[in-house]
Structure 1
Amino acid sequence: MNKEAFKERLFKEVYENHWLKLYLHSLKIVDDEDDAKDIVQEVFTNLWHNFDSVGINTSYSSYLYASVRNRAINYLAHKKVIVDHERYQEAQPKSQSFNEPDVFLIEKELARQINAEIDSLPPKMAAIFRKSRFENKSYKEIADELEIAENTVKKQVSRALQLMREKFLHIKYYLFFL
């Protein structure tokens, strides 16, 4: 049996033996069926893509439970940030000087400028930044995927944020006076 066939057989066995238990574990944490399924699917997808490089020092069961727990906790933390931001936005007084199309155009232009600035970052830094901010991947996940040190990922994201802050300092003052 070749290596790829062995990998497929082993993965299928792990998937069939653990999916339901992991789903129920995830469901207890996030309390939403679709989100629980997505979390388990992401864990198995990550396992499949990194099957050869994942260093499992314990059993697959322990590894998978920890992965589901961590991903579910990250999901809840991200969801809380979104909810808090929405509440903050709702609590802000609506400006009388803008109508909806004006706000939409300003947001669209700001998004365009942000994407242009991300594109101007060094390619590796931009890729790491996108994975961190737009794909919501942890530093560890990015490090594993790109086969680099976790500390390198942290430094690259930090440096990207610093560069972006410097570039957009003028926008903060502009928006303050609108």
Structure 2
Amino acid sequence: MNKEALKKKLFTEIYDTHWLKLYLHLLKMLDDEDDAKDVVQEVFASLWNNFDAISIHTSFTSYLYSSVRNRAINYLAHKKVVISYEKAEELRDVNFSNAPDIFLIEKELAFQINSEIDNLPPKMAAIFKKSRLENKSYREIAEELDIAENTVKKQISRALHLLRQKFIHIKYYLFFL
């Protein structure tokens, strides 16, 4: 019997012996038949694909149960992220449908922010624009303007402080939008 046929025979024996036990174990964890089937199938697919490379230091049954449990944990974590994303999308859709003028508000807010940035002292405005609009690092800005990196940091901090003071009322308005 060649190596591939032996691998197939061994894998089939493992699959037939353990699939149902692993499925029932996962069904208790996931409380969903399709999810439990999917996770068990993923474990067996991974086992088949990595059959020659797997190094097991415990009993094979322990290895399979650990693999299934870890996959289930990863699956649940991924599912939680997906559900959270879907809820955020639904909320975004509801907010946009309830506020058809949101784009006008956004445009006006951007205009006000740019206007306030332009009203900053000239050197501060230049440093702030290089940092926030051009995405330059403090070091790049300092080298370009031939000033200390600490000066750049202080100027940006001061600009943010001034802008926050100008727009403190906006965050309360946006909260209720």
Q: TM-score range by the shorter chain?
A: 0.5 to 0.7
Residue 83 of structure 1: how far off its partner (Å): 1.2
Distance in structure 1 (CA, Å) of the matches to 2:52 and 2:101 = 57
- Match of 1:84, SS state, is helix
Distance in structure 2 (CA, Å) of the matches to 1:56 and 1:97 = 61
Distance in structure 2 (CA, Å) of the matches to 1:49 and 1:97 = 53
- Match of 2:36, SS state, is helix
Residue of structure 1 in register with 2:108 after alignment: none
Residue of structure 1 in register with 2:19 after alignment: 19
Moved more, 83-92 or 51-60: 83-92
Q: When the two structures are superposed, what TM-score results if normalisation uses the length of structure 1?
A: 0.52
Structure 1 residue 96 and structure 2 residue 96: aligned? no
Moved more, 81-90 or 61-70: 81-90
Alpha carbons 1:27, 1:33 under 8 Å: kept:
yes
Residue of structure 2 in register with 1:129 after alignment: none
Distance in structure 2 (CA, Å) of the matches to 1:27 and 1:5 = 32
For 1:86-125, list aligned pairs within 5 A. 86-92=86-92, 93-94=95-96, 95-96=99-100
Give per-residue Cα distances to partners, 1:36-68, cap 9 Å, x unaligned. Answer: 101101100110011000111112211111111
Runs of 4+ aligned residues of structure 1 deviating over 6 Å after TM superposition are none
Residue of structure 1 in register with 2:4 after alignment: 4
Ranges in structure 1 where 5+ consecutive residues have no aligned partner: 99-168, 170-178
Give per-residue Cα distances to partners, 1:6-58, cap 9 Å, x unaligned. Answer: 11111111111100000011111111101110110110011001100011111
Residue 87 of structure 1: how far off its partner (Å): 2.0
Alpha carbons 1:14, 1:60 under 8 Å: kept:
no
Give per-residue Cα distances to partners, 1:118-145, cap 9 Å, x unaligned. Answer: xxxxxxxxxxxxxxxxxxxxxxxxxxxx
Count of residues paired in the alignment:
100
Structure 2 counterpart of 1:37, which letter?
A: K
Give the fraction of aligned pairs with identical amino acids, expressed as a percent. 63
Residue 72 of structure 1: how far off its partner (Å): 0.8
Structure 1 counterpart of 2:24, which letter?
A: L
Alpha carbons 1:11, 1:48 under 8 Å: kept:
yes
Structure 1 residue 59 and structure 2 residue 48: aligned? no
Distance in structure 1 (CA, Å) of the matches to 2:37 and 2:79 = 16
| Larger CA Rg, structure 1 vs 2 | 2
Distance in structure 2 (CA, Å) of the matches to 1:75 and 1:97 = 39
